[in-house]
Chains A and B, each alone.
Chain A
Amino acid sequence: MNTVATIVFISLFILITVLGFISAHWKKGDLTHLHEWGLGGRRFGGWITWFLIGGDLYTAYTFIAVPALVFGAGALGFFALPYTVLVYPLVFAILPRLWVVARKHNYITAADFVAGRYGSPALAFAIAMTGIVATMPYIALQLVGLQVVIGGLGFPANHGLLSDMPLIIAFVILAAFTYTSGLRAPASIAIVKDLLVYVTVIALIVIVPIKVGGFAHIFASIPHDKLLLPPVKDGNTGLMSFYATLAFGSALALMLYPHATTAVLAAKGPKTLRSNWVFLPAYSFVLGLIALLGYVAYSSGIATEPSLAPYFKQYGPQFAMPGLLLHYFPGWFVGVGFAAVAIGALVPAAIMSIAAANLFTRNIYKTYINPHCSVQKETHIAKLVSLIVKFGALLFIVYLPQHYAIQLQLLGGVLILQTFPAIVSGIYTRWFDPKALLLGWGVGLGWGVWAASLTGFKKTAYALHLGGMVIPAYIGLYALILNFAVAIVATVLIRSLGMANIRDATVPLDYEE
């Protein structure tokens, strides 16, 4: 057991626990209303939104998985960087309109918007369910990151429930402060989390490469076939087309995830959002540096150090970043870095569980189970569901092998992408028919799951054979193209039969800022 690191780690944890509970009083609002508990009253200004969206997108799993991918797979793992570069121009163009219409009609979720825009509870139900199903394994994945650093502190693994105790305690704390403070808790904790992350990453990226011999040396020690993507061969575009489509598809998927919608709708207004997206790429730069840590770890040879080898055996490439901290830094700083990862797990897990709870309450409970419930009852249900969602994720991680969570999260990305036509096209046009969108969603989903099953749900690439070429690309993107094609053809058919549903609770002026 690493005593100093553990003491620092626990102290920082106590700090954020206190912060989580007292944040209920911050920007005081009536927390029995869902837009107060679940969206922080839509009052978050520039700085808080920056931390909240950052805390949302750059998660503990990012800090563990991105260096692990680069450490294990080389250049392909670097896709996380173009992915985050693509996100901000896309959301800049698209999401402010969603904020404006959501504010006018008090929409809390993207499915609320779809229900209003298309007058179709069935389509809204499909969107809500997809969001919940895609979010669950994402929460579970945060726990994987937490598990790795708790293991790195020296808590014994493989002792059944006992070795899961630190994880369970961390989660009970998370559940409690989310229940009482709602979205205000992760928003305030995100500030502490980011300070810790920046300090840790800057220390790692400055100090370790100097000790290892500089970046020129590090890159020189990486085998050439790892350093670049393989060239096009025999008409097969190979990893290059996969790299680009994975980055693009992941960027589209990101803005559709319920937790992203939650953080966006919680902002004070479209101008706050837009100014944020000018500065959010600062995080992407940090992400790029984190990715390079994979090569730093590879080059330093820590995986074969006697003191660290058992951890690498247990956690695989996922131990690259924790391993660098343990090997090159004193105990107290290890505590800081590990706390950054652990708190980086709790912030998004809190936002995700709130987002899933908002979806369930608004688009399933209120639509189908209890349409006339009071605002207080609505909020009460959301708080309860946020607890259930988190404990579901906890049981998942404690009782099932880790790779299930990873595979389900990969599949979740494919699923959530299929909500793109309904949500994003709806922001601009009411041309599509809701039945056609539902059909497109179903076909895209079905094909996506089938294509993923071909690899045993291990990979997200599908090799399309087209005119003598082989084009492997991200399954989610192929499924989305199919989804759009079906929705367009079906809309034309439905309209020509005169069966189009033209209900729309919004008017064009609702989208004007």
Chain B
Amino acid sequence: MSNAVRKLRPIHMILLAIPCVAILVVPWFNTVEPRLFGFPFFYWWQLLWVPLSSVFIAIVYKMVTRPGGGD
């Protein structure tokens, strides 16, 4: 278990903060246009950030986890 995960550094914090900011800028995405498959922007933008947040977390996970380490 020891040394399996590195400490988070500022770059990791920034990567984790990006999805948080993207989903909190409400005035920016509070519009109907542009639509996507009939979904207003308000809805597809927020739904899009679900898989995108996963990608950002995965990047940080790869950066902080040493290969071969395990619980």
Contacts and interface: CB of A to CB of B under 8 A. Distances in A.
A92 B64 CA distance: 11
Contacts of A37: none
B1 A513 contact: yes
Contacts of B71: 45, 267-272
B4 A271 contact: yes
Interface in B8-49: 8, 12-13, 16-17, 19-20, 23-24, 26-27, 30-32, 35, 37-40, 42-43, 46-47, 49
Contacts of A279: 54
B39 to A, nearest CB: 6
Contacts of A240: 26-27, 30
A281 B42 contact: no
Interface in A108-150: none
- Contact residues of B: prevailing secondary structure: helix
Contacts of A243: 26
B57 A92 contact: yes
Q: Please report whether the interface of chain A is mostly helix, strand, loop or mixed according to DSSP.
A: helix
Contacts of A93: 8, 12-13, 16
Contacts of B17: 89
A250 interface: no
A469 interface: no
A216 B13 contact: no
Contact of B50 (A75, A271, A288): A288
A54 to B, nearest CB: 14
B11 to A, nearest CB: 12
A85 B16 contact: no
A513 B3 contact: yes
B34 to A, nearest CB: 13
A205 to B, nearest CB: 12
A215 B39 contact: yes
B62 to A, nearest CB: 9
Contact of B47 (A81, A224, A229, A268): A81
A115 to B, nearest CB: 25
Given A271-B5, A278-B57, A228 B30 contact: yes
A180 B32 CA distance: 52
A216 B46 contact: no
B40 to A, nearest CB: 6
Contact of B1 (A241, A269, A275): A269
Nearest to B62: A278
A224 B8 CA distance: 44
A81 B5 contact: no
Nearest to B54: A281
Nearest to A291: B43
A246 to B, nearest CB: 11
A247 to B, nearest CB: 7
B50 A92 contact: no
Contacts of B58: 278
Contacts of A219: 38-40, 43
A288 B49 CA distance: 11
Contact of B42 (A75, A244, A285): A75
Contacts of A281: 50-51, 53-54, 57
A200 B12 CA distance: 37
Contacts of A51: none
Interface string A228-240: 1101100000001
Contact of A247 (B24, B47, B50, B54): B24
Contacts of A292: 43
Nearest to B27: A240
A393 B16 CA distance: 37
Contacts of B19: 85-86, 89
A227 B31 CA distance: 9
B38 A285 contact: no
Given A228-B30, A247-B24, A292-B43, A85 B38 contact: no
- Indicate the member of B19, B27, B54, B61 with the most A CB atoms within 10 Å: B54
A311 interface: no
Most interface-central of B3, B39, B50 (chain A CB within 10 A): B50
A203 B26 CA distance: 31
Contacts of B39: 215, 219
A85 B40 contact: no
Contacts of A442: none
Contacts of B49: 82, 85
28 contacts: A75-B30, A88-B57, A90-B16, A90-B20, A92-B60, A93-B13, A93-B16, A216-B35, A217-B38, A220-B38, A227-B32, A227-B40, A229-B30, A231-B30, A232-B27, A244-B24, A247-B24, A269-B1, A270-B71, A271-B1, A272-B71, A274-B61, A274-B64, A278-B54, A278-B58, A282-B54, A288-B47, A513-B1
Interface of B: 1-5, 8, 12-13, 16-17, 19-20, 23-24, 26-27, 30-32, 35, 37-40, 42-43, 46-47, 49-51, 53-54, 56-58, 60-61, 64-65, 69-71
9 A-B pairs closest in CB distance: A269-B71, A216-B38, A89-B16, A82-B23, A281-B54, A215-B38, A268-B71, A240-B26, A278-B58
Given A227-B42, A248-B24, 9 more contacts: A78-B46, A89-B20, A90-B16, A215-B37, A219-B38, A227-B40, A271-B71, A282-B54, A513-B1
